[in-house]
Amino acid sequence: MLRRTAPAAVALAITMLLAAVSWQQIVVHEVAGLRLNEACPAEAPKQVLLSFDDRAHLADWVALAPELEAHGVKATFMLDRVTTMEAEDWANVDVLLAHGHVLGVHGEHHVGATASGLSPEAWVAQELLPSLEVMAERGLDVVALTMPRGDSTSAHEAAALDFVPRVRLTAGPPRDDVTPWASGCGDGPVHAAVSLDERRGGVDRWLPDVLDLRRAAGFGVVHAYGHSTGGEGVDVDALLAVVDESSAEGWRWVGYDALNAEV
Ligand SMILES: [Zn+2]
């Protein structure tokens, strides 16, 4: 008799458990990558990839660069419209590099893949190659491309990956071919990222929850991005608080050049 009723009791317990799980918890589990098949090496990393988009915010980045360095963070700064950068802009870039940070590109005209109406190859020729040419002339490494406005397709990413090692997207709708905001091993060249901007809810909206879940798993690679600092942008004090807490627990804030390279 007991054998017949036990499955029913288990089913009831599962039903009650599911009812207790809020929708937000389900979403957070989804974005933390915990529903992925995580066949990672045993020594899987604990890495956070922090990046900033849009060089209109270079002055903010220059002010932030030493603070990040002092807290052990290597960030990746994504430059758009590289061919029109002037001496003052490059001087600001030198400051970022002097503090140990690395560079990516973010569209020569900041035009998204589908918005452009261009084929993948034509988009790469217009939005990526001119920027890369200037960076190469200056002897600067480009460690990633971030798609303008997160507007992308798999075909455009594949075309871009012939020229850059990594592509980062934004926190848009989930896609099957994109590694989520956080993932077990950080494998794959294309990654979505959680926003840190105040206008999207701020540093404390998603990142601490995602880190918590990865902390429970014991490993993971987490992607987060912002634009400006202060106001509607990234709350620097809140960010550095998360940096300090997570670093004390063994998380390493690395640039896209080091993604999953050291575990
Ligand atoms: Zn942008």
pLDDT single digits (tens) 107-149: 999 999 999 999 999 999 999 999 999 999 999 999 999 999 9
C-alpha of residue 173 to centroid of ligand 1, in Å: 17
C-alpha of residue 191 to centroid of ligand 1, in Å: 16
Q: What pLDDT does residue 11 have?
A: 57
C-alpha of residue 56 to centroid of ligand 1, in Å: 9
- Judge whether 225 lies within some domain: yes
C-alpha of residue 80 to centroid of ligand 1, in Å: 7
Q: What average pLDDT does this structure show over 194-205?
A: 93
Number of domain units in the chain: 1
Q: Is the pLDDT of residue 94 over 50?
A: yes
Per residue in 204-213, pLDDT (tens digit) is 998 988 888 7
Q: What pLDDT does residue 14 have?
A: 55
C-alpha of residue 58 to centroid of ligand 1, in Å: 13
- Judge whether 158 lies within some domain: yes
C-alpha of residue 196 to centroid of ligand 1, in Å: 14
Could you tell me where the DSSP H helices lie in 81-202? 87-98, 113-116, 120-123, 129-137, 154-160
CATH (domain of 115): 3.20.20.370
Q: Is the pLDDT of residue 185 over 80?
A: no
Q: What average pLDDT does this structure show over 190-219?
A: 87
C-alpha of residue 151 to centroid of ligand 1, in Å: 10
Most confidently predicted of 7-16, 62-71, 193-202: 62-71
- Judge whether 112 lies within some domain: yes
C-alpha of residue 54 to centroid of ligand 1, in Å: 5
- Judge whether 145 lies within some domain: yes
Which structural domain, as residue segments, surrounds residue 199? 2-36+44-258
For CA atoms 19, 24, 27, 29, the dihedral sign is negative
Q: Is the pLDDT of residue 1 over 60?
A: no
C-alpha of residue 131 to centroid of ligand 1, in Å: 15
C-alpha of residue 146 to centroid of ligand 1, in Å: 8
- Judge whether 182 lies within some domain: yes
Q: Is the pLDDT of residue 3 over 50?
A: no
- Judge whether 58 lies within some domain: yes
- Judge whether 263 lies within some domain: no
22: left (phi over 0), alpha (psi -120 to 50) or beta: beta
Average predicted confidence (pLDDT) for the chain: 86
Local structure of residue 7 (DSSP, 8 states): H
Q: What pLDDT does residue 32 have?
A: 59
C-alpha of residue 47 to centroid of ligand 1, in Å: 24
pTM score, two decimals?
0.85
- Judge whether 227 lies within some domain: yes
Q: Is the pLDDT of residue 27 over 70?
A: no
